[in-house]
């Protein structure tokens, strides 16, 4: 029996090595396959690190979907993009705007340009001329895809605060279970 254990170690180590390589490849594939991309103020941005979506049942017939991604894997860099939609109606493909007058859903977008100061993070602010909006083109049990655009504002009480124009946004994210 002892001889079997000694001879089994190299095989066991090889299996662990192969399994760990497979996980790294999977993460790299996810970064290429799942993403949020857009122009922010005319500058191309890609958020493909941990790009994903999460679904939550908030109770009372309300479901929330949050989509998010980081620009780089560096833990000290906070640059990220995300948006959330909370619905009291069935979730279907189509366009959802933050300025929709119904109470069927609530939509919010956020962009962190790499800061820990809340007053320097951009968020949707109900701009009538360029509202933040999302068009879901594909909704499956495993992925969400679509486009997004609109104007986000610095999180400030100043009515003349800075803003960021989000254009040419597109996303494909894995729906976490």
Catalogue the E-assigned strands of 30-132.
Answer: 35-40, 43-47, 49-59, 62-70, 80-87, 94-97, 105-112, 122-124
Residue range of the domain that includes 24: 1-33
Task: Say if residue 28 is in the same domain as residue 57.
Answer: no
Task: Say if residue 28 is in the same domain as residue 75.
Answer: no
Task: Say if residue 27 is in the same domain as residue 52.
Answer: no
Task: Say if residue 87 is in the same domain as residue 135.
Answer: yes
Task: Say if residue 70 is in the same domain as residue 2.
Answer: no
Task: Say if residue 5 is in the same domain as residue 74.
Answer: no
pLDDT of 84 > 60? The answer is yes
Tokens coding 89: 């109606």
Task: Say if residue 92 is in the same domain as residue 122.
Answer: yes
Confidence of residue 14 (pLDDT cuts 50, 70, 90): very low
Q: Give tens-digit pLDDT for 157-168.
A: 676 778 999 999
Q: Give tens-digit pLDDT for 129-160.
A: 999 999 999 999 999 999 999 999 997 667 67
Task: Say if residue 22 is in the same domain as residue 72.
Answer: no
pTM: 0.80
Task: Say if residue 27 is in the same domain as residue 105.
Answer: no
3-class secondary structure, 58 = strand
The whole-angstrom separation of Cα 103 and Cα 62 is 11
Tokens coding 96: 């959802």
Beta-carbon count within 10 A of 36 CB: 25
């Amino acid at each position: 029996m002892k001889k079997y254990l000694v001879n089994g170690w190299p095989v066991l180590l090889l299996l662990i090595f192969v399994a760990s390589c497979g996980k790294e490849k999977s993460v790299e594939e996810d970064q290429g396959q799942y993403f949020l991309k857009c122009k922010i103020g005319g500058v191309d941005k890609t958020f493909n690190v941990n790009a994903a979506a999460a679904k939550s049942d908030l109770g009372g017939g309300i479901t929330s979907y949050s989509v998010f991604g980081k620009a780089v894997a560096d833990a000290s860099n906070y640059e990220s993009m995300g948006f959330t939609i909370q619905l009291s109606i069935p979730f279907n493909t189509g366009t959802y705007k933050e300025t929709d007058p119904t109470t069927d859903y609530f939509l919010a977008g956020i962009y962190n340009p790499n800061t820990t100061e809340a007053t320097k993070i951009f968020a949707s602010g109900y701009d009538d001329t360029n509202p933040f909006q999302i068009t879901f083109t594909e909704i499956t049990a495993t992925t969400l895809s679509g486009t997004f655009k609109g104007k986000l504002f610095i999180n400030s009480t100043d009515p003349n605060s800075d803003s960021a124009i989000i254009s040419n946004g597109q996303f494909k994210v894995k729906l976490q279970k």
